[in-house]
Amino acid sequence: MIQKIKQAFIEKFGKHPILVKSPGRVNLIGEHTDYNEGFVLPAAVNKAIYFAVKPNGLDKFCFYSYNLQETYETSINSIEPCQKQWANYLLGVVAQFVNDGKTVPGFDCVFGGDIPLGAGMSSSAALECGLAFALNHIYTFKYSTLEMVKFSQKAEHEYAGVQCGIMDQFAVMHGKANQVIKLDCRSQEYELFPLDMSDFMLILVNTGVKHSLASSEYNTRRKECETGVELLRKYDASINSLRDVTLDFIQNHENEFDATVYKRCTYVIEENMRLQKACEALLNTDFTEFGKQMYGSHYGLKNKYEVSCKELDLLVNIAEKVDGVLGARMMGGGFGGCTINLVKKEAVETFKNQIIASYKTPEGETPQIIEVVIEEGTHLLNE
């Protein structure tokens, strides 16, 4: 893919660019914990967006999407959201550098990749981080990776209109091969944990269901969690989020809660506990225990947070019946998208065959099955 992007750039602009690889990401456990100041456990993967970028000496930015075969150009003095949605992710990044007082001269950019769209692998974060990294390198702005992460997140908020948390951009930029990132969404401190995948595969299975309910239900869940925090603050003013609440403490006040709010809050507290156990399991190379926590996460999301759907549940049920599948769960906001499955390598073909035999998308098609490998975050490639 990178050779195609490089070649397209040379044919279009007649010069040799710098090349950047910006990966997609998966999240192994820790769902809906980010906006509750909890923990997440993402990793960068081998599906990526590739960039070819070079200053052009002109007063314009020229973007070319290789996958869509579309061009967007704008003056360097006219950076604002446009009708072309994919261009907004890139313009939003340029805007962050400009808003921070930097002059961004005109440049040409060709990008394209193999991150499956609609699979919850954060192609938008890969797009933002890739361009931020390229511009920081070309113009020697000397921003840290965390500063570029924040620029990328703000680009998505302000230009794409998506109020995302920081996990996606953080994982895309900070990923390391054969390691997962335990990110503290409150402090933005992180630890790396080893994930030796020599005997295992991570496999995503796409339900083929679009997340039509995800945004409205996301806002509802967020409000329900805030309601729980407000109630508990009456008893302990130091509580700022569900991160500060123990299971014992909330259980002591169960009778004061609306039943739904109680389910939502206990899910978040238990999910943070599952993530801690999952990290301990990685340190002990105990993949059976890690998989058990993945299953626990799914059933918490299904029964307590109620963001699953029948297709996601069916895929997890199929996975549970296959020898050699250690863990499975829905990944992402919910109501569609993918499951993520931890599968022993000798069981991969059996698992795939079982999925194909037992599951069809709502359109009656074979589901997309995506094997992923944990790789480095956004980085410069040798030209």
Whole-number CA gyration radius for the chain? 21
Strands 60-65 and 107-113 turn out to be parallel
Q: Cβ(287)–Cβ(326) under 8 Å? A: yes
Q: What is the DSSP string of 181-194?
A: EEEETTT--EEEEE
Beta strands in 66-105 (DSSP E): 70-75
Strands 325-331 and 338-344 turn out to be antiparallel
Top-level CATH class of 2-195+376-381? alpha beta
- Choice among 168, 184, 244, 258 that is catalytic: 168
As annotated, the residues of the chain forming the CATH 3.30.70.890 domain(s) are: 200-372
As annotated, the residues of the chain forming the CATH 3.30.230.10 domain(s) are: 2-195+376-381
Residues 200-372, CATH architecture: 2-Layer Sandwich (3.30)
What's the pTM value of the predicted model, to 2 decimals? 0.92
Task: Give the pLDDT of the chain (383 residues) as one tens digit per residue.
Answer: 999 999 999 999 999 999 999 999 999 999 999 989 999 999 999 999 999 999 999 999 999 999 999 999 999 999 999 999 999 999 999 999 999 999 999 999 999 999 987 778 889 999 999 999 999 999 999 999 999 999 999 999 999 887 777 899 999 999 999 999 999 999 999 999 999 889 999 999 999 998 666 667 888 999 999 999 999 999 999 999 999 999 999 999 999 999 999 999 999 999 999 999 999 999 999 999 999 999 999 999 999 999 999 999 999 999 999 999 999 999 988 889 999 999 999 999 999 999 999 999 999 999 999 999 999 999 999 86
Q: Is 199 among the residues known to form the active site?
A: no
